[in-house]
C-alpha cells in the first residue's frame, strides 16, 4: 500500500522515518515474518524500504543494508531447477484475502507466483544497489 501511495499517486504518507526504523529493525529481528515463509513479505519490506529512501535520506545506509539482506532471503526461495518457490516449505497453497490464488508446490501458478514475487523484488532492489 505504501508503494501505491508513493509510486502511483505521488503521495508520501506521513511518518516515513518511523517506517524506515521499522523496516530496519523488524527485518533484522524477524518481526515482519512471524514464522511466515511467504515470498510476499520480503518483497513488501523491500518496497517499504525503497519508499522510505525515495522520501528522504533518513537512515539510508541502514535501509540499503536491509535491501542487501533481503536479497539473501529471496535466494533461499530458489529451487534446484532455478524456479523460485512462493514459500519456503514449498507446500503452502497461496491465498489472498481468503481467496485461493494457487495450490501447493508443483502447480504452475504456484511456481509463477514465486518467480513473479522474487523477480519484482530483485528488480526493485537491483535498481537501488546498482
50-59, 85-94, 102-111 — most confident range: 50-59
Q: Write down the mean pLDDT value for the chain.
A: 79
The number of distinct structural domains making up the chain is 1
The pLDDT of residue 90: 57
Report phi then psi at 76, rounded to 5: -65, -20
| Model pLDDT for residues 48-57, shown as the tens digit of each residue | 999 999 889 9
Q: How confident is the model at residue 89 (pLDDT cuts 50, 70, 90)?
A: low
Could you tell me the residue range of the domain that residue 21 belongs to? Answer: 2-129
Write the DSSP assignment of 56-124 as a string of letters. Answer: --TTHHHHHHHHHHHHHHHHTTB-TTS-B-SBTTS---EEETTEEEE-STTSHHHHHHHHHHHHHHHHH
Rounded Cα distance between 70 and 44, Å, is 10
Q: For residues 60, 20, 49 and 96, what is the CA-based torsion angle, rounded to 10 degrees?
A: 170
Residue 105 has pLDDT above 90, yes or no: no
pLDDT (average), residues 89-108: 54
DSSP state of 10: -
Amino acid at each position: 500500500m505504501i508503494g501505491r501511495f508513493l509510486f502511483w499517486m505521488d503521495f508520501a504518507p506521513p511518518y516515513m522515518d518511523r517506517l524506515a526504523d521499522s523496516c530496519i529493525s523488524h527485518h533484522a529481528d524477524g518481526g515482519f515474518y512471524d514464522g511466515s515463509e511467504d515470498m510476499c513479505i520480503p518483497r513488501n519490506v523491500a518496497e517499504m524500504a525503497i519508499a522510505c529512501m525515495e522520501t528522504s535520506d533518513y537512515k539510508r545506509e541502514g535501509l540499503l543494508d536491509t535491501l542487501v539482506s533481503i536479497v539473501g532471503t529471496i535466494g533461499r526461495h530458489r529451487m534446484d531447477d532455478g524456479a523460485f518457490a512462493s514459500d519456503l516449505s514449498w507446500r503452502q497453497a497461496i491465498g489472498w484475502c481468503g481467496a485461493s490464488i494457487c495450490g501447493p508446490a508443483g502447480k504452475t501458478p504456484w511456481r509463477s507466483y514465486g518467480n513473479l514475487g522474487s523477480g519484482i523484488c530483485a528488480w526493485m532492489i537491483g535498481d537501488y544497489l546498482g
